[in-house]
Structure 1
Amino acid sequence: MIFPDKSRFWKREMKYLLAFKPLGRRRSPPKQQHHMDLPNIYYLNQRSSRERKHENYEEEEEEEEDEEFDSPLSKEDWVITIREKLDQVPQNKGSSSWLNHSIFKVPRSLREIEYKAYTPQVVCIGPYHRGKPSFQDMENHKWRLLRHLLERTGHKLELYLEAMAELEEQTRRSYAKQSIEITSQEFIEMMLLDACFILELLRVSVKGFIYCGYSWGDPIFSSRGTLPCIQRDMLMLENQLPLFVLDRLFALSCEPDETDSVSQLALQFFDTMVPGCKTATINFDEPGLHFLHVIRQSLLPASKYTLGCITIAQNHKPQLMMHCVTMLRSAAVKFQKTNSNNFTDIEFKNGVLYIPRLVIHDSTKSIFLNLMAFEQCYPHCCNHVTSYISFMDGLINCPRDVAYLRHHKILDHGLGSEEEVASLFNNLCKEISFDINDCYLSKVSSDVNRYVDKKWNRWRASLKQEYFSNPWAVVSLVAAVFLIALTIAQTFYSVFAYYFPLS
């Protein structure tokens, strides 16, 4: 037969054309002009339906081969491209990589909720917000304070520059964003200006601006509106300078009678900003990373309040969130203020929830948010601050809860109303990834929930609220009990006299 030979010839011709077809999406030339010189044209034009099906199958194979040629890279080139991308990724060198980072950029999910809480408004510390026009006035004050420091100490500028140059590489590793395009000289200049500015603020806050040589009308130290804003900006995660830079410059510029460390001066400087008691202490066995880390160390609970939290975290049992104050009161849970130095020292004993006093002011929201953001980013710390805020968020659901805690002197705020305080706690934990089982307050939450689940506690609380809530209710209850006792006695004597008459 002629058809098989011609069919094989046709298929061989098509493979030849495809083999020499250039890369890219191009259509093959019309077949009718290319094969006009083939023999048996009439036979090819009179193909049966079986031959048409066979041709359609070959056309489908041709389209599949066209799709393969449409790809921009061959398999070998594609593998080579991926290997080149892998070669551009830096190798993991353990502690020399991101494990040394301590000053982070706030995640976008958190920043979008509270932009102003993470963004400095008055002063810029470090490279993240450097160069913005809004900070130019404060940059001029930094130069003024540096000149004042050099004149007071009598040291040469080269001494400080050499000390900052020795710490440049270590300081750069402290920042998580490595793509900061700052030259070495600009980076060292930034370190010196920011460190000098911070140390002068600390000295003036402790010794006074007159003792440090500043006039009473200084725009930084004498203005009541500027200094609180500066303090708030200096406790933002993105606005930090490594503590070892401050320690080095402080050692060069301090006076012989200065015995306090930079961390101790920082606690005194931020004393009015930190929520809680003013007698907060810090464990200096663990070196601080920056001011935000130092403040966090002063807020950590005592060791006796954190015992057992690891065991509970390993059990991975489902744990309910904390009940609100109103619900706990309905289960006979009492609240009592303690005199602990740290407001995170919370415990539960014999139906009483002991909570230290917490002072809330305008900067509390920003401090709490930045502390939680630091705990989310820094892998070497626990989540104690996040645990405390989540616990208080469970306690406070409405202004009535805030009013009750304020009545018992557990909360003290300078905000406009209880509604603002309730909204503050209810919005702090947004976009914060947190496991309630993995916190130091998990045992307290578990004990409170077990106490609330007991029916007798709820019945006793209901009886107390309905019948012992005020003196008149107590009098009414006593009178009712007395009347019931008289009625029972009268009934008894009536029955007794009927069955046992005296005569």
Structure 2
Amino acid sequence: MASLNPFLSPNYGERPWVDQISETLKTQIAITIDTPPVSIFEIPKNLKAEKLEAYVPQQVGLGPNHHFQPELYHRMEQKKLTAVKSVLKPHQVHDYEQEFVEKVKKIVPLVRDCYDFYHDADDNMLAWLFTIDGMFLIHLLNAYSNGDFAVKTNDLIMLENQIPLIVLKEIQKALLGQEDILESNFRFFCKSSSSFVLSEEYIDFNRVNHLLDYMYKSIVNNERLIPRKVEFTNSGKESSEKDAKLELLKAIIRFAGVIPGAQSFQQFIQKKLSQNEKTTAEEIKVPSVSELHKVAGVEFRLSPKNEGIRNINFVQGKVRYCYLPLMTLNRDSEVVLRNLVAYEKLMANDSFMGEYGLELTEYVDFMCGIIDCAKDVKLLREQKIIEGDLSDEDIVKLFNGIGKSRLKMRGESELRKTVAQLNMVYESTPRIRVQRLIEKQFLVWAKFLTFLVSISSAVIFIREVYLMVHGLNPSNIMLARILRARFSGLLLFFFGPSGPRAVV
């Protein structure tokens, strides 16, 4: 069956490329409105591999990326047309194409600039597509504000599913002659769907790119953001920096493999360890809530309700307090968080968008670091830092499943200062200092044991050769062989590439 998506048409390329580009460029130059930034991206494959359904719409496909997906198109196209009809009916529109499609068509060259890839479709087709989807989105936002909403809110907030605000403004202006209702509908939807408290400060609606961008800016309040240079980190280098505890545990497991009767225990631990490595993504280096509370005596408290992710701070006195903002987590929260973080990363990586930092990404990384188990979530719930109907176990899965960012900011953010303070307090406790000392001394003892095992193995080997040459007591020969087999395992452990020498 032929694809419904005209952008995947087998006839692509029949129109001469030079003529097509020339016409497009000529049209764009003729438009005097400022060109909007690229703000609608295709989600990278590595993020989709983590959880595809968090980035690809399941019910409503909007815009050229997902409008023509067969499973979405067949299910929603008639509903879209019905919604368009209900929007137009009160306004007694006589010529839909002239009053709406043609107006949208004039800004299609600008709309193309909002996407990070080129759509090979003529302006007329895109004008119809954006008019239908834009009017449908306006209908959904109106219905949501009135408490009458029948589709998944997840789909509307996905990055690939965004409709540029310039399209919605053009349609709303044609309907009512004003755009004010759009901003209030955006605010209501984002306030209801966001996991964080939105900023009470004014958000310049003229600088908003789309619905997801409005939510993002309302959370981080970019107007006061200090620009920081963003860089990619070397993923290979970062993955090689193993946690000392994990490496020590692996070394002990390998050591257990040469102890009689310990093989079953070794296999069990290795199985659990491999499962943990597969299901837990990399996260920021910070102790968990329960560890900080139990070992370092850190008490977590809720920041004032009107404060957001910038207001995390650590206060050290007779009692150590870490203040965190309110976070509301429901069944839709993972999709919202993942798309917000993906959007921030992609915008920050765009060299033309220096105003976008990584504040939200860093905070989500931080939450991934301090939440390891249900006990951590329980402690945060008790202090009203986490609210919502998502279960403790699901919250743990959420934060353990989000991969750590590969981007870093130059300059020290307030969050990283707080993380450094928490780590310093934790590492300075007697218990952890002793633990770190033991880990450090393990390598020293490993050298001594290597020498001891080497000498012992050599002595046993010489004794075995001597007994074999002189043909003495066969039982002694058997004993020597058994001892040699055992010590050869230890020798391999200490001299082999996977022994303690590999522990960092």
Question: What range is the shorter-chain TM-score in?
Answer: 0.5 to 0.7
Matched with 1:123 is 60
Q: Find the aligned partners of 2:398 and 2:189 in 1 and give their Cα distance.
A: 25
Q: Does the alignment pair 1:105 with 2:105?
A: no
Question: How many percent of aligned residue pairs carry the same amino acid?
Answer: 22
Tell me how far 1:106 sits from its aligned partner. 0.4
Please give the secondary structure, in 2, of the residue aligned with 1:354. strand
Asked if the contact 1:124–1:130 (Cα under 8 Å) also holds between the matched residues in 2, the reply is yes
Give deviations 1:416-475, integer Å, cap 9, x for gaps: 4x2221121111125x3133776551122122223334448989xxxxxxxxxxxxxxxx
Matched with 1:254 is 176
Tell me how far 1:390 sits from its aligned partner. 0.4
Matched with 1:152 is 90
Q: Find the aligned partners of 2:303 and 2:195 in 1 and give their Cα distance.
A: 15
Q: 1:298 to 1:368 in 2, by over 3 A?
A: same
Q: 1:421 to 1:303 in 2, by over 3 A?
A: same
Alpha-carbon RMSD across the aligned residues, in angstroms, is 3.4
Asked if the contact 2:315–2:321 (Cα under 8 Å) also holds between the matched residues in 1, the reply is yes
Asked if the contact 1:332–1:458 (Cα under 8 Å) also holds between the matched residues in 2, the reply is no
Letter in 2 for 1:346: I
Asked if the contact 2:313–2:322 (Cα under 8 Å) also holds between the matched residues in 1, the reply is yes
Asked if the contact 1:360–1:412 (Cα under 8 Å) also holds between the matched residues in 2, the reply is yes
Matched with 1:299 is 219
Q: Find the aligned partners of 2:84 and 2:284 in 1 and give their Cα distance.
A: 54
Q: Find the aligned partners of 1:142 and 1:113 in 2 and give their Cα distance.
A: 31
Q: Find the aligned partners of 1:150 and 1:254 in 2 and give their Cα distance.
A: 11
The within-5 A match list for 1:40-439 is 100-135=37-72, 136-155=74-93, 156-157=95-96, 158-178=98-118, 180-206=119-145, 208=146, 221=148, 226-227=150-151, 229=152, 231-254=153-176, 260-277=180-197, 283-284=203-204, 287-300=207-220, 321-329=285-293, 330-344=295-309, 345-350=311-316, 351-378=320-347, 379=350, 380=353, 381-416=356-391, 418-429=392-403, 432-435=405-408, 439=413
The farther-off stretch of 262-271 and 236-245 is 262-271
Tell me how far 1:331 sits from its aligned partner. 1.0
The within-5 A match list for 1:434-453 is 434-435=407-408, 439-453=413-427
Q: Find the aligned partners of 1:302 and 1:193 in 2 and give their Cα distance.
A: 31
Q: Find the aligned partners of 1:186 and 1:247 in 2 and give their Cα distance.
A: 19
Q: Find the aligned partners of 2:209 and 2:284 in 1 and give their Cα distance.
A: 35
Tell me how far 1:290 sits from its aligned partner. 0.8
Q: Find the aligned partners of 1:386 and 1:434 in 2 and give their Cα distance.
A: 9
Matched with 2:436 is none
Q: Find the aligned partners of 2:228 and 2:88 in 1 and give their Cα distance.
A: 51
Tell me how far 1:301 sits from its aligned partner. 5.9
Tell me how far 1:263 sits from its aligned partner. 3.1
Tell me how far 1:392 sits from its aligned partner. 0.7
Q: Find the aligned partners of 1:111 and 1:101 in 2 and give their Cα distance.
A: 20
Asked if the contact 2:134–2:171 (Cα under 8 Å) also holds between the matched residues in 1, the reply is yes
Asked if the contact 2:159–2:212 (Cα under 8 Å) also holds between the matched residues in 1, the reply is yes
Q: 1:388 to 1:301 in 2, by over 3 A?
A: farther
Q: 1:153 to 1:286 in 2, by over 3 A?
A: closer
Asked if the contact 1:312–1:442 (Cα under 8 Å) also holds between the matched residues in 2, the reply is no
The within-5 A match list for 1:447-462 is 447-455=421-429
Q: Find the aligned partners of 2:89 and 2:221 in 1 and give their Cα distance.
A: 43
Letter in 1 for 2:65: Y
Q: 1:273 to 1:285 in 2, by over 3 A?
A: closer
**Unaligned regions of 5+ residues in structure 1, if any?**
1-86, 210-220, 460-503
Asked if the contact 2:43–2:55 (Cα under 8 Å) also holds between the matched residues in 1, the reply is yes
**Unaligned regions of 5+ residues in structure 2, if any?**
1-17, 30-34, 232-240, 242-282, 434-504
TM-score, length-scaled by structure 1:
0.61
Tell me how far 1:342 sits from its aligned partner. 4.6
Tell me how far 1:320 sits from its aligned partner. 7.7
Give deviations 1:313-346, integer Å, cap 9, x for gaps: 9xxxx99822211221111222111223354131
Give deviations 1:397-432, integer Å, cap 9, x for gaps: 11111111111111123224x2221121111125x3
Q: Find the aligned partners of 1:182 and 1:341 in 2 and give their Cα distance.
A: 46
Please give the secondary structure, in 2, of the residue aligned with 1:247. helix
Q: Find the aligned partners of 1:320 and 1:250 in 2 and give their Cα distance.
A: 44
Q: Find the aligned partners of 2:229 and 2:43 in 1 and give their Cα distance.
A: 31
Q: 1:238 to 1:443 in 2, by over 3 A?
A: same
Q: Find the aligned partners of 1:383 and 1:440 in 2 and give their Cα distance.
A: 12
Q: Find the aligned partners of 2:229 and 2:113 in 1 and give their Cα distance.
A: 35
Please give the secondary structure, in 2, of the residue aligned with 1:121. coil
Tell me how far 1:244 sits from its aligned partner. 1.2
The farther-off stretch of 274-283 and 163-172 is 274-283
Tell me how far 1:205 sits from its aligned partner. 3.2
Q: Find the aligned partners of 1:298 and 1:181 in 2 and give their Cα distance.
A: 34
Asked if the contact 1:321–1:436 (Cα under 8 Å) also holds between the matched residues in 2, the reply is no
Q: Find the aligned partners of 1:311 and 1:103 in 2 and give their Cα distance.
A: 21
Tell me how far 1:162 sits from its aligned partner. 2.1
Tell me how far 1:282 sits from its aligned partner. 5.2
Asked if the contact 2:313–2:323 (Cα under 8 Å) also holds between the matched residues in 1, the reply is yes
Q: Find the aligned partners of 2:223 and 2:431 in 1 and give their Cα distance.
A: 31
Q: Find the aligned partners of 2:357 and 2:39 in 1 and give their Cα distance.
A: 14
Tell me how far 1:151 sits from its aligned partner. 2.4
Q: Find the aligned partners of 2:90 and 2:230 in 1 and give their Cα distance.
A: 56
Asked if the contact 2:81–2:132 (Cα under 8 Å) also holds between the matched residues in 1, the reply is yes
Q: Find the aligned partners of 1:291 and 1:363 in 2 and give their Cα distance.
A: 16
Give deviations 1:169-194, integer Å, cap 9, x for gaps: 0001111121x332322111011101
Tell me how far 1:284 sits from its aligned partner. 1.8
Asked if the contact 1:387–1:436 (Cα under 8 Å) also holds between the matched residues in 2, the reply is no
Letter in 2 for 1:103: I
Tell me how far 1:347 sits from its aligned partner. 1.4
